[in-house]
Amino acid sequence: MAIVVVIETPGMNQAMYEQGTDRLTGGRGVVKKASDWPVPGLISHTAAPTPDGWLVVDVWESEDAFRKFGEHLRPMLREIGAPDVEPKIYPAYNVVTS
């Protein structure tokens, strides 16, 4: 079952996001397609600034796929100095892609 993951990170900024995605993609820079991620299962990824930090909203094929990605994500977030936050996970009711 697909899931929606919402990660709100106070204090994070675009430079930190770019540094993090560069690490996740093995030096290829900001993510351009789902296959750029280090694990399979990403359906969509959206990132945006907020008044106090950074927001990421992902759709994953399953919670298991996201948990595998988390094994890469958490250490990377620590390395770039992002605060430790818990993602909010919701079952997806409807997913529309182009």
- 57-91 residue pLDDT tens: 999 999 999 999 999 889 988 999 999 899 999 99
> Distance (Å, rounded) from C-alpha 60 to C-alpha 94?
12
**pLDDT above 90 for 34:** no
Which pLDDT score, from 0 to 100, does residue 28 have?
Answer: 82
Q: Transcribe 61-89 into DSSP letters.
A: S-HHHHHHHHHHHHHHHHHTTPPP-PPEE
pTM: 0.90
Share of the chain above pLDDT 70, in %: 100
CA 80 and chain centroid, separation: 14
Which pLDDT score, from 0 to 100, does residue 33 have?
Answer: 85
Which pLDDT score, from 0 to 100, does residue 6 have?
Answer: 98
